Amino acid sequence: MTATATQSAKPPHLFWTLAEGRAVVELGAFYAFRGALSMLPRGDGHSVLVLPGFLASDRSTKPMRNLLTSLGYDAHGWDMGRNIRIDNARETQMNDLLHGIHEQSGRKVSIIGWSLGGVFAREIAKNAPNKVRQVISLGSPISNDRGHTNARKLFDRLNGPEPEPLQQGRFRNLDEAPPVPTTSILTKTDGIVAWRGSVQKPGPQTDNIEVIASHCGLGVNPMVMYAIADRLALPEDDWKPFERSGWRSAVFGSIKHD
């Protein structure tokens, strides 16, 4: 499957938004296949920071973090409550968290961000690329145009049209990937963030992986877990795009930015 993002910004179709309840099925599949997921490629023990989506907390990422821990990673939540506001204090907290994990482990940290968490993951990686091994975003609105998400009005109501970091010139080039290996995992049936808003520009260390999932199920979908485990297991100095040959070509798509 190969597609190109070319259309102007608009939120997902109402059908897909109303169908987000299928995330419950994805959660059920996660636990149904939990034994099989334990057979995914094991990690080398490096730290992985997992950031939750808009309005969510560490509770939403706990199944993923537990899986990553069982695969041999040092998985961390962000321990900052719900992901609601973008302000200077929250940005400082995230930068400090990355610094602390890096100092404690003595190794570069991989960052996984779900939805808005993926925006944060990319931006804090830009601030400290020497501390980041790779970034993986899940259905994240990484376009500069908020018109791709139907959560825009609520976000603006809670944060204002220009949160503090934007007022000071940061968070303005969301479509620019950080200078580290960066993978965007997205779904065309996303009911919260239109998939075109999650497609990143081509580059020597960027990749877009299309999966079949809901937005709210991205953090537990078994196929997403497969892709995440595949990315995290890559040697630190030998990153390469996701392999889509064989059976993978029927499950994982490739989307290009135009």
pLDDT tens figures, 33-85: 999 999 999 999 999 999 999 999 999 999 999 999 999 999 999 999 999 99
The string over 27-55, giving b where at least 16 C-beta atoms fall within 10 Å of a residue's C-beta and e elsewhere, is: beebeeeeeebeebeebeebbbbbbbbbe
- Please say if the pLDDT value at position 5 is more than 80: no
pLDDT for 243 beyond 80: yes
The pLDDT of residue 258 is 64
What's the predicted TM-score (pTM) here?
Answer: 0.95
Q: Give the model's confidence band at 4: pLDDT under 50 very low, under 70 low, under 90 confident, else very high.
A: low
**Residue 58: its pLDDT value, please?**
98
Mean pLDDT of 74-103: 97
Q: Phi first, then psi: give them for residue 58, nearest 5 degrees.
A: -60, -25
Determine the 3-state secondary structure of 31 from DSSP.
helix
pLDDT digits (tens, 9 = 90+) for 168-223: 989 999 999 999 999 999 999 999 999 999 999 999 999 999 999 999 999 999 99
**What confidence score (pLDDT) does residue 255 get?**
87
Candidates 170, 56, 163; CA nearest to 123 is: 170
Is residue 252 classed as helix, strand or coil in its secondary structure? Answer: coil
What pLDDT is stored for residue 89 in this prediction?
94
Q: Minimal CA–CA distance to 221: which of 71, 26, 81, 37?
A: 26
Please tell me the predicted confidence (pLDDT) of residue 138: 98
Q: How far apart are CA 59 and CA 65, in angstroms?
A: 10
- The fraction of the chain above a pLDDT of 70, given in percent, is 97
Has residue 24 got a pLDDT over 60? yes
Confidence of residue 119 (pLDDT cuts 50, 70, 90): very high
Q: How confident is the model at residue 113 (pLDDT cuts 50, 70, 90)?
A: very high
pLDDT at 161: 87
